[in-house]
Amino acid sequence: MALIVQKFGGSSVADADKIRNVARIITETYRKGHSVVAVLSAQGDTTDDLIEKAREINPKASKREMDMLLSTGEQISISLCVMAIERMGYQAISLTGWQAGMLTDSAYSAARIKRIRTERIQKELDKKKIVLVAGFQGINKYDDVTTLGRGGSDTSAVALAAALHADLCQIYTDVDGVYTADPRTVRGARKLDEITYDEMLELASLGAQVLHNRSVEMAKRYNVNLEVLSSFSGNPGTQVKEVVKHMEKTHVSGVAKDKNVARIALVGLEDRPGIAFKIFSLLAKENINVDIILQSIGRDGSKDISFTVARDDGQRAREVMEENREVIGCRSVELNDQIAKISIVGAGMAHNAGVACKMFEALYSAGININMISTSEIKVSVLVDERDADRAVQAVHDRFFDEFGNA
Judged by the rule CB under 6 A, the positions of this chain that interact with ligand ASP are 9-10, 41-42, 47, 73, 135-136, 150-153
Q: Which H helix or E strand runs over 304?
A: strand 302-309
**Whose Cβ is closer to ligand ASP: residue 108's or residue 136's?**
136
Task: List the one residue out of 203, 342, 325, 202 whose CA is nearest residue 264.
Answer: 325
> If contact means CB under 5 to 8 A according to the sort of partner, which of Mg ion, ligand ASP, none does residue 135 touch?
ligand ASP
Residues 6+ apart with CB under 8 A from 336: 262, 263, 265, 371
CB-nearer residue toward Mg ion: 80 or 320? 80
- The residue among 78 and 395 lying less far from ligand ASP, judged by its C-beta, is 78
Q: By the 8 A CB rule, do 132 and 95 touch?
A: yes
* H or E element in which residue 59 lies: none
- Strand 238-241 and strand 194-196: the pairing is parallel
Distance CA 170, CA 39 (A): 10
Residue nearest to ligand ASP (CB): 153
Q: Which does 97 bind (CB under 5 to 8 A by kind): Mg ion, ligand ASP, none?
A: none
Q: Is 377 helix (H, G, I), strand (E, B) or coil?
A: coil
Our CB check for ligand ASP shows the closer of 111 and 269 to be: 111
Q: Which does 44 bind (CB under 5 to 8 A by kind): Mg ion, ligand ASP, none?
A: none
Beta carbon nearer to Mg ion, 29 or 41 = 41
Here's the x/- map for Mg ion, 245-284, by CB under 5 A: it reads as: ----------------------------------------
CA distances from 357 to 344, 352, 362, 388 (A): 12, 9, 9, 19
CA distances from 7 to 127, 284, 362 (A): 21, 35, 38
Smallest gap from Cβ 12 to ligand ASP, in A, equals 10
Q: Is 77 in the site for Mg ion (CB under 5 A)?
A: no
Q: How far is the CB of 257 from ligand ASP (least distance, A)?
A: 21
Strands 254-258 and 339-345: antiparallel
CB of 208 to Mg ion, least distance (A): 17
Q: How far apart are CA 49 and CA 54, in angstroms?
A: 9
Using CB under 5 A, which of the segments 20-28, 43-51, 108-116, 349-357 binds Mg ion? 43-51
Half-sphere exposure of 14 (CA within 13 A, CB side): 8
Give the residue ranges of DSSP H helices in 180-330.
197-203, 213-221, 275-285, 314-323, 325-328
Residue 394's binding partner, choosing from Mg ion, ligand ASP, none, with beta-carbon cut-off 5 to 8 A by kind?
none
The identity of residue 171, as a single letter, is I
Strand partners of residue 36: 4
Q: Which is nearer to Mg ion, 51 or 373 (CB)?
A: 51
Whether the Cβ atoms of residue 397 and residue 359 lie closer than 8 Å to each other: no
Which phi and psi (to 5°) does residue 77 adopt?
-60, -50
If the CB atoms of residues 154 and 291 are measured against Mg ion, the closer one turns out to be 154
> Cβ 401 to ligand ASP, closest distance in Å?
30
Q: Tell me, residue by residue from 46 to 75, as one string, x for binding to Mg ion by CB under 5 A and - for no binding.
A: -x----------------------------
Tell me which of Mg ion, ligand ASP, none is bound by residue 152, counting a contact when its beta carbon lies within the kind-specific cut-off of 5 to 8 angstroms: ligand ASP
Considering only 27, 41, 196, 215, the residue that binds Mg ion (CB under 5 A) is 41
CA distances from 215 to 11, 55, 61, 120 (A): 18, 29, 28, 23
Which helix (H) or strand (E) segment holds residue 12: the answer is: none
Binding residue for Mg ion, selected from 8, 10, 177, 401, defined by CB under 5 A: 10
Told to check if 177 binds Mg ion by CB under 5 A, we report: no
Amino acid at 188: G
Nearer to ligand ASP, 232 or 360 (CB): 232
CB 102 within 8 A of CB 159: yes
**Interface with Mg ion, residue 238, by CB under 5 A:** no
Q: Which is nearer to Mg ion, 41 or 146 (CB)?
A: 41
Q: Rank residues 43 and 394 by Cβ distance to ligand ASP and give the closer one.
A: 43
Say whether residue 239 binds Mg ion (CB under 5 A).
no
**Residue 153 interacting entry, from Mg ion, ligand ASP, none, C-beta within 5 to 8 Å by type:** ligand ASP
Binding site for Mg ion (CB under 5 A): 10, 41, 47
